[in-house]
Structure 1
Amino acid sequence: MTSRNPSPRADLVRDACTAFGAVLDGLGDDDSWAATGCTGWSVRDLVHHCAMDGLRGLVALHTPTTARPDRDAATYWTDWGGDPEAAAESRRRARVAASMLPDWDAVRELYRGTAGALVHAAEHRGSGGAVRTDGHVLRVEDLLSTLAVEATVHHLDLIQHLDGSPGPAADGLAEVRRVLTDLWEREPLEHWSDEHFARVGTGRAELSAPERAELGAYADLLPLFS
């Protein structure tokens, strides 16, 4: 039975995963070798990585704890992007792991199966309580935010060289905007779309000279995570 009090952020996870999966539906084997917005990763590598993040979510949702949360939906990301050597090692591990599935359909089905199970678990998990993930303790709502943000940002990476592919879910982009705003401790420029803020806020796009001039010292705080 579905929990009587499911987290409203379960909808974010469902919408983000559904939008990501919709891109995969239109990709053939040749497309799976295309570059992405993640340095060194093909579509195959990125999709495998996202399947593993879905697995992270599944494990976390089934790892409850009574410990006090030490991260929230925004501060969870402060561990990401500050160590170039760790980032490079993570990229290498993802490529090696993805290479163990030589068939594109197998990679795609791994994502679909994992994402489907994650969405089911999120929709059936109550909104209260805390869980463990990545060495930290988060409230369930905050965990679900991290999963939606991860899927949404990587959706932008996925379609960077895939012209005509559908974009991320609107509520996923709005959640990325909320998290980046909390981390930055200021509102983005008024003319920035959610997608543009997601790209510059995570280092996927450079600030223009006028943007940098308008932001002043705040420009030096970007990217907020990567």
Structure 2
Amino acid sequence: MDLFSLALGALLKAVGELTDDDLTRPSGCEGWLVRDLVCHFVIDAQDVLITLVTPTAGPVTHDAVTYWKVAHEPADDPLAALTVRLAAAYGEPWMLKHHVDDVGRAALRAAGMADPSLKVTTQDMVLCTSGYLGAYVWEWTLHHLDLVANLPHLAGPLAQALARCREMFEQIAGPFPAGWSDVDVLLVGTGRRAPTEPERAALGGTWIPFVLG
């Protein structure tokens, strides 16, 4: 749960440093500008706030890793186009940044006050709060990489968040070469970057990235 707050805090700091020009640059999410990705953070933070106040008595069915649906091809997301339209609807860039900071800080406060053993429900799943917030370490960290993909002047995700995400990802996809950086594992493993020929050979030839959503 501490790592959730650290990862989200680092992401919000990076968003706060975006210039108006930065928001118009392509992000690491295919087809999305940085402003579209930042708008997605609003939706993510709202989801966290909603889930943390949706307790259940049902048995736990998922944890931080099994929360994610795994595929080898991106699935159609009906909210993707809506997110782009919502991002464009903000009249001024500062309005979008303010909204993200507002709901993001609220999510930080809510996570800090949450009982880690409380069971919550979302998307027909039941998780302990600690497991749910642990799943979002992946969300914040991967999208932090997307945020800074074309903005090298911004700080990337925290090292401990990257290490945890690599650990989670290798539970799903299997181990990667030990000499690879956590960033390279996450970018190549999720299809955000094509492997080089030596990397492909190290992965055993044909490599199909994993999509977690």
Query: TM-score if structure 2 supplies the norm length?
Result: 0.92
How many residue pairs are counted as aligned between the two chains?
Answer: 213
Corresponding residue of 1:203: 191
Check the 8 A contact 1:66/1:129 in 2, yes or no.
no
Instruction: Work out whether 1:216 is the aligned partner of 2:200.
Output: no
Please state how far the C-alpha of 1:221 moved relative to its aligned partner: 5.0
Check the 8 A contact 2:71/2:210 in 1, yes or no.
no
Which residue of the other structure, out of 9, 17, 20, is the alignment partner of 2:8? Answer: 17
Check the 8 A contact 1:72/1:139 in 2, yes or no.
yes
Check the 8 A contact 1:201/1:225 in 2, yes or no.
no
* Runs of 4+ that moved beyond 3 A: 79-84
Corresponding residue of 1:96: 85
Check the 8 A contact 1:127/1:141 in 2, yes or no.
yes
Corresponding residue of 1:136: 125
- CA offsets 1:178-224 (integer angstroms, 9 cap, x no match): 2101112x32211111111111122111122222222227x645224
Corresponding residue of 1:41: 32
**How has the CA–CA distance of structure 1 residues 64 and 18 changed in structure 2, closer, same or farther, with 3 Å as cutoff?**
same
Corresponding residue of 1:28: 19
Check the 8 A contact 1:180/1:224 in 2, yes or no.
no
Q: Pairwise CA RMSD of aligned residues?
A: 1.9
Corresponding residue of 2:69: 78
Match of 2:95, SS state, is helix
Please state how far the C-alpha of 1:80 moved relative to its aligned partner: 6.5
Check the 8 A contact 1:31/1:43 in 2, yes or no.
yes
The CA distance in 2 between the partners of 1:82 and 1:210, in whole Å, is 23
Which residue of the other structure, out of 179, 185, 188, is the alignment partner of 1:191? Answer: 179
Which residue of the other structure, out of 157, 169, 172, is the alignment partner of 1:180? Answer: 169
The CA distance in 2 between the partners of 1:63 and 1:145, in whole Å, is 17
Check the 8 A contact 2:49/2:107 in 1, yes or no.
yes
**How has the CA–CA distance of structure 1 residues 113 and 98 changed in structure 2, closer, same or farther, with 3 Å as cutoff?**
same
The CA distance in 1 between the partners of 2:155 and 2:43, in whole Å, is 22
Check the 8 A contact 2:74/2:211 in 1, yes or no.
no
Please state how far the C-alpha of 1:79 moved relative to its aligned partner: 5.2
Corresponding residue of 1:106: 95
Aligned residues: percent identity? 31
Letter in 2 for 1:105: W
**How has the CA–CA distance of structure 1 residues 47 and 62 changed in structure 2, closer, same or farther, with 3 Å as cutoff?**
same
Query: TM-score if structure 1 supplies the norm length?
Result: 0.87
- CA offsets 1:112-143 (integer angstroms, 9 cap, x no match): 11111111111111110221123322221111
Match of 2:20, SS state, is coil
- CA offsets 1:20-59 (integer angstroms, 9 cap, x no match): 1222232221221111011121111111101210111111
Corresponding residue of 1:57: 48
Unaligned 5+ segments in structure 2 are none
Letter in 2 for 1:222: P
